[in-house]
Structure 1
Amino acid sequence: MKRIIEICCGSYEDALNAYHGGAKRIELNNALHLGGLTPSLATLKLTKKNTNLKIITMVRPRGAGFCYNEIEFEVMKEDAKSLLENGADGIAFGCLNKDGSICIKQTKEMIEIIKSYQGEVVFHRAFDCVE
């Protein structure tokens, strides 16, 4: 199996530094101090414009866990579409139930959206919280 080294970037500046340092793939976030949130479209667009990095973008609307209500999940789906339409190569996300199990319904919906754009699906660190 080929190893992949992915640099976690919390800003456009981080992405540029990773690129100039020789990275080929990044996970693009915002607010790393909260565990990583959805980056802005401007951050994605500038990174795509000025690098040749493979970019997996985080879709997480808030800190404080990975159990999302329907309103938060609607935002996540729209964020995923916008990011993929603007050049993201994939989406990192994770959806859990209150009991710590994987939320199959939300996970399937996100996978369908990501795959409809031929994007790469990454289930992020929410996996570490699974019972």
Structure 2
Amino acid sequence: MLREVCVENFTNVPELIAKGASRIELCDNLSVGGTSVSHGVAEVTINYCHSKNIKVMAMIRPRGGNFIYRKEEVEIMKRDLVHLKQLGTDGVVLGCLNDNGWIDEEAMKTLLHLAEGLEVTFHMAFDHIRPENQFKAIDWLVKHGVNRILTHGGPLHTKIEANLVRLKEYINYANGRIKILPGGGITNKNLSLITSELQIDEVHGTKIVE
């Protein structure tokens, strides 16, 4: 079982790896769902994790709030992505939407081009895509080479246990073409239930190791 632990700075990374974290999602400001980290945090964390053979997925997000970004914000994301790639991140975590409840295709294509050679996770912006468009969104992300989708399976205020049916639908529809990575409310207490119900081998959370 691959346990991707979400952290908002370097402080707890050594302890989390020692306790079984097998991949790190690195971001800042978890209280708003995560934003891009500073140069220092990124460089130290990436170097430390690589010394332990642990991959790092770096968040590319200029602010909290919605996932509809102005041109200038996309420029910020482009620069952050290039910078983190130069620092040696193994992958990036990002997602851009438009105001119609769909993927901002132009912004995403630009970012995905810059991310070539990295793993890419489309983050929980996916849960803000209109439900009737989400299966079509899986197809779009597969077509454009995204590796995984981080999703709660529903609104974040709901318990993830209540979203297992929807998550199974995503997994069945993806059919191995892209990894569905459940997150948001998975802990070491409910981990075995969720993994057995969904038959998955990767999970994401802040509290999934002891």
Same fold (TM over 0.5): yes
Q: Tell me if the contact between 2:10 and 2:45 (Cα under 8 Å) persists in the aligned partners.
A: yes
Corresponding position of 1:120: 119
Bigger drift between 18-27 and 61-70 goes to: 18-27
The amino acid that maps onto 1:119 is L
SS at match of 1:37: coil
Q: Structure 1, residues 50-105: CA drift from partner, whole Å, max 9, x if none?
A: 23320000000000110001000000000000001001111100000012211111
Q: How does 1:90-129 map to 2 (within 5 A)?
A: 90-115=91-116, 118-129=117-128
TM-score (norm 2): 0.58
Q: Is the 8 A contact 1:45 1:86 kept in 2?
A: yes
Instruction: Report the Cα distance in structure 2 between the residues aligned to 1:4 and 1:102, rounded to whole angstroms.
Output: 28
| Alignment match, 1:72 | 73
State whether structure 2 residue 42 is matched by structure 1 residue 44: yes
AA aligned opposite 2:61: R
Secondary structure, counterpart of 1:22 in structure 2: coil
Q: Secondary structure at the match of 1:55?
A: strand
Question: How far is 1:23 from its partner?
Answer: 1.4
* Aligned residues with identical type, % of pairs: 35
Distance 1:93 1:104 in 2: 13
Long gaps (5+) in structure 1: none
Q: Partners in 2 of 1:15 and 1:107 — Cα distance?
A: 29
Give 1:44 shift: 1.5
Where 1:50 maps in the other structure, the secondary structure is helix
* Per-residue deviation, 1:17: 2.6
Q: Which amino acid aligns with 2:34?
A: G
In structure 2, the partner of 1:21 is: 19
How many residues of Structure 1 are paired with residues of Structure 2 in the alignment? 127
Q: Tell me how far apart the structure 2 counterparts of residues 111 and 63 of structure 1 sit (CA, whole Å).
A: 21
Gapped runs of 5+ residues in structure 2?
Answer: 131-210
Inter-partner Cα distance in structure 1 for 2:12 and 2:72:
30
Structure 1 residues 16-25 or 56-65, which shifts more?
16-25
- Give me the CA root mean square deviation: 1.2
For residue 12 of structure 2, give the secondary structure of its aligned residue in structure 1.
Answer: helix
